[in-house]
């Protein structure tokens, strides 16, 4: 699902070192779901300056925001190879308002606050997901918002279907590599990273709201049932 920031239970460095075009596509769900949503959200929400894309992978959404908005954007990822690749692209294309740094959730202690902190198809890889939420939210400036999606119980049940025999379920949408399926999605399959509106509220003290009350909803209906996209404002 992504080369996004995650605990060290999966070797994302190795994944991105060997990633071909198919793997880069597989690891960039934001290209289909959020590359238009995030810039639109930032524009309409009128947040303080600065956007952090945590678990940016190949940087599709990071570059989309940097290209569309004249404000600083930082992409964070756990995998050194993809961070270097994104830095090379930024230098090659002359994108001056973007930079890329390494981080691995649940730790996230940037050197500044951001108007919008974004984490897309990232939290499902993190076992200590509550600590990740707390750290992400702590990096949001007053008047800004944490924007994220999360895997709910329906997503876990959907993924458990293939867990007993990934090779026999190789056509399942999440089984990109049967040999690594249970390792890659271990935190979700075990239930550690499963979230709900109630769990987010209990962790952050503020109710999450649908991001599509601010930005337009892309026509990818399955994603929003299994992985709601929400924002948590910070007053």
Tell whether 4 is covered by a domain.
no
| Structure letter (DSSP) for residue 178 | G
In a domain, 185, yes or no: yes
Task: Name the residue range of residue 66's domain.
Answer: 12-233
185 token code pair: 């999605």
Report yes or no on 166 lying in a domain: yes
Contacts of 166 (CB under 8 A, 6+ apart): 172, 175, 178, 179, 181, 182
By the 8 A CB rule, do 128 and 78 touch?
no
Position 6 scores a pLDDT of 42
Six-digit token string for 112: 């500044």
Report if residue 224 sits inside a domain.
yes
pLDDT at 24: 55
> Does a cis peptide bond (omega within 30 degrees of 0) precede residue 138?
no
What contacts 172, CB < 8 A, 6 or more positions away? 161, 162, 166
Q: Count of domains in the chain? A: 1
User: Is 154 within a domain?
Assistant: yes
Looking up residue 123, the CATH number of its domain turns out to be: 3.40.50.150
* 109 inside domain: yes
Average pLDDT of adjacent 10-residue blocks, the chain of 235 residues: 47 70 57 84 95 94 94 95 95 97 96 96 95 98 97 95 94 87 94 98 98 88 80 96
Query: Residue 16, Cα to own-chain centre: how many angstroms?
Result: 16
What six digits make up the tokens of 151? 């895997």
DSSP state at residue 78: S
Complete DSSP assignment for 105-135: TT----SS-EEEEEE-S-GGG-SSHHHHHHH
Residue in 135, 137, 102 with CA at minimum distance from that of residue 8:
102
Residue 5 lies in a domain: no
The answer to the question of residue 111 being in a domain is: yes
Beta-carbon contacts of residue 110 (< 8 Å; ≥ 6 apart):
52, 74, 76, 101, 103, 139
């Amino acid at each position: 699902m992504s080369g996004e920031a995650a605990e060290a239970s999966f070797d994302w460095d190795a994944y991105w070192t060997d990633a071909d075009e198919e793997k880069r596509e597989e690891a960039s769900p934001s290209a289909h779901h959020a590359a238009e949503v995030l810039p639109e959200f930032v524009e309409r929400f009128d947040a303080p300056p600065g956007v952090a894309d945590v678990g940016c992978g190949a940087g599709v959404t990071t570059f989309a925001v940097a290209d569309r908005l004249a404000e600083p954007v930082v992409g964070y990822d756990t995998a050194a190879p993809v961070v270097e690749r994104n830095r090379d692209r930024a230098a090659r294309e002359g994108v001056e308002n973007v930079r890329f740094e390494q981080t691995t959730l649940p730790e996230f202690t940037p050197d500044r606050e951001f108007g919008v902190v974004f984490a897309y198809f990232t939290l499902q890889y993190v076992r200590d997901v509550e600590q990740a939420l707390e750290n992400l939210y702590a990096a949001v400036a007053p008047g800004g918002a944490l924007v994220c999606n999360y895997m709910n119980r329906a997503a876990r049940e959907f993924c458990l279907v293939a867990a007993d025999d990934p090779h026999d379920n190789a056509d399942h949408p999440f089984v990109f590599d049967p040999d690594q399926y249970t390792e890659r999605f271990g935190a979700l399959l075990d239930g550690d990273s499963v979230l709900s509106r109630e769990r987010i509220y209990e962790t952050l003290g503020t109710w999450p709201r649908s991001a599509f009350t601010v930005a337009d909803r892309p026509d990818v209906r399955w994603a929003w049932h299994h992985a709601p996209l929400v924002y948590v404002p910070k007053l």
